[in-house]
């Protein structure tokens, strides 16, 4: 009987020990994050500007946290497919999203049928970069500045045409904002991508367009395209001789695309904070800032809540612009 009692006590102690180990392991998991490979979903095709700087961030972050980071390009439907996949992922901090003003602001406001909800499905990690656009004009249009463009548009017998990467894209909305602030009317010609839109200006099929800096910089520098202004509040390092639209007379004009990193809602806040702290330290690097500047981007970090505050603010501004301009999906 004594032997039986000792056996039962031993079994009970073993169960208690196993329970303690399990509890300790679960606590350690949270403290040791990350302890395995992280996937960063880039909802754009390989080789583009977003893919390039997504890989730069992934490479640098991997060294800082001593864990592998895999970049997974999931392009399609204007970022919807990749964004939706992260929205359905586990909230464990091991699947992150390279989010943007397109995926978190423009698309949710314009497309009410998408299955993801930014507020419900995501939490911010940090803002990563902002990207002003450049106003490009076809060579057959006899203007060299924003003020000349406005005068030309008002005196033209027919409306100027402007290309974009599609309705609701940042480059489309920059054109709508220009019309609103300058008091001019232009004809919008949507294309499937920014590359197609800039080529349409280059060939003279349309009169002008707003484009991401990296796509048009080389064409402007080689004088194949006329760049007359940029859309942020300060000049960009890649094209420092171009004034901003704001300093060209349309005071307050500011339209920039931005990118950030987000995680699935419900991810451990301590893990998010740790990633945020590492990213903010990374962004102090002069070498990293210069690499981003070469892509036409301003490196810019933020607190997690500041990223989501930016999303809410820009969704509200965009909704107001849509009402004012009567913009509708075609």
pLDDT in tens, 89-134: 999 999 999 999 989 999 999 888 999 999 999 999 999 999 899 9
Cis amide leading into 34 (omega within 30): yes
Residue 16 pLDDT exceeds 50:
no
101, part of any domain: yes
Assigned token pair, 111: 């497309």
Q: Are residues 297 and 225 in the same domain?
A: no
136 bridge partner residues: 209, 227
32, part of any domain: no
Q: Are residues 198 and 122 in the same domain?
A: no
CA distance linking residue 296 with residue 49, whole number of Å: 9
Mean pLDDT of the residues in the chain:
88
CA distance linking residue 84 with residue 177, whole number of Å: 29
193 vs 179: which has the higher pLDDT: 179
Q: Find out whether 161 and 203 touch, Cβ atoms under 8 Å.
A: no
How far is CA 135 from each of CA 119, 208, 233, rounded to the nearest angstrom?
33, 7, 14
pLDDT in tens, 193-242: 778 898 999 999 999 999 988 888 889 999 889 999 999 999 988 899 99
Q: Are residues 127 and 142 in the same domain?
A: no
Give the model's confidence band at 322: pLDDT under 50 very low, under 70 low, under 90 confident, else very high. Answer: confident
Report pLDDT for 95: 98
Domain containing residue 59: CATH number = 3.40.190.150
Residue 168 pLDDT exceeds 50:
yes
Q: Are residues 71 and 127 in the same domain?
A: yes
How far is CA 194 from each of CA 90, 173, 266, 302, rounded to the nearest angstrom?
33, 13, 35, 28
CA distance linking residue 207 with residue 163, whole number of Å: 8
- Residue 41's φ and ψ, nearest 5 degrees, are -80, 125
Q: Are residues 321 and 260 in the same domain?
A: yes
pLDDT in tens, 254-298: 999 899 999 999 999 999 999 999 999 999 999 999 999 888 888
Residue 303 pLDDT exceeds 50:
yes
Q: Are residues 127 and 137 in the same domain?
A: no
Q: Are residues 106 and 125 in the same domain?
A: yes
239, part of any domain: no
| Domain range for 262 | 38-131+256-325
CA distance linking residue 100 with residue 133, whole number of Å: 14
Q: Are residues 95 and 169 in the same domain?
A: no
DSSP 96: E
pLDDT in tens, 52-82: 889 999 999 999 999 999 999 998 887 899 9
CA distance linking residue 165 with residue 261, whole number of Å: 23
Report pLDDT for 149: 97
Domain containing residue 137: CATH number = 3.40.190.10
264, part of any domain: yes
Q: Are residues 215 and 157 in the same domain?
A: yes
9, part of any domain: no
Which one of 230, 245, 266 terminates a domain? Answer: 230
Residue 29 pLDDT exceeds 80:
no
321, part of any domain: yes
Q: Are residues 125 and 206 in the same domain?
A: no
Residue 301 pLDDT exceeds 50:
yes
41 bridge partner residues: 72, 97
Q: Are residues 122 and 209 in the same domain?
A: no
31, part of any domain: no
**Structural domain total, the chain:** 2
Assigned token pair, 162: 């402007």
27, part of any domain: no
Q: What is the mean pLDDT of residues 42-49?
A: 85
Report pLDDT for 329: 61
Closest of 260, 230, 225 to residue 243, by C-alpha: 230
How far is CA 48 from each of CA 137, 209, 302, rounded to the nearest angstrom?
23, 19, 24
Residue 50 pLDDT exceeds 90:
no
The owner of tokens 């006899």 is 142
Q: Are residues 140 and 205 in the same domain?
A: yes
The owner of tokens 């962004």 is 283
Report pLDDT for 330: 52
């Amino acid at each position: 009987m004594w032997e039986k009692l000792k056996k039962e006590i031993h079994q009970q102690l073993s169960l208690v020990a196993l329970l303690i180990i399990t509890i300790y392991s679960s606590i350690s998991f949270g403290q040791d994050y990350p302890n395995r490979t992280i996937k960063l979903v880039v909802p754009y095709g390989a080789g583009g500007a977003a893919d390039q700087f997504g890989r730069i961030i992934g490479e640098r972050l991997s060294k800082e946290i001593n864990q592998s980071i895999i970049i997974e390009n999931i392009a399609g439907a204007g970022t919807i497919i990749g964004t939706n996949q992260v929205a359905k992922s586990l909230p464990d901090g091991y699947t992150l999203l390279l989010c943007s003003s397109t995926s978190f602001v423009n698309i949710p406001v314009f497309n009410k049928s998408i299955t993801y909800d930014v507020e419900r499905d995501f939490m911010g990690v940090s803002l990563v970069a902002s990207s002003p656009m450049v106003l490009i004009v076809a060579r057959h249009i006899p203007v060299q500045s924003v003020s000349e463009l406005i005068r030309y548009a008002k005196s033209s017998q027919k409306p100027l045409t402007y290309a974009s990467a599609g309705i609701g894209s940042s480059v489309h909305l920059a054109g709508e904002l220009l019309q609103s602030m300058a008091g001019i009317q232009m004809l919008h010609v949507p294309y499937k991508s920014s590359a197609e839109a800039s080529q349409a200006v280059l060939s003279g099929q349309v009169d002008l367009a707003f484009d991401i800096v990296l796509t048009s910089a080389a064409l402007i520098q080689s004088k194949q395209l006329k760049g007359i202004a940029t859309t942020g509040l300060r000049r960009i390092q890649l094209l420092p001789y171009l004034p901003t639209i704001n300093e060209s007379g349309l005071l307050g004009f500011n339209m920039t695309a931005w990118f950030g990193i987000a995680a699935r809602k419900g991810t451990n806040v301590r893990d998010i904070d740790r990633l945020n702290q590492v990213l903010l330290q990374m962004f102090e690097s002069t070498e990293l800032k210069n690499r981003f500047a070469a892509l036409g981007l301003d490196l810019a970090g933020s607190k997690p809540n500041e990223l989501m505050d930016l999303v809410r603010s820009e969704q509200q501004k965009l909704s107001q612009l849509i009402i004012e301009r009567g913009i509708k999906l075609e």
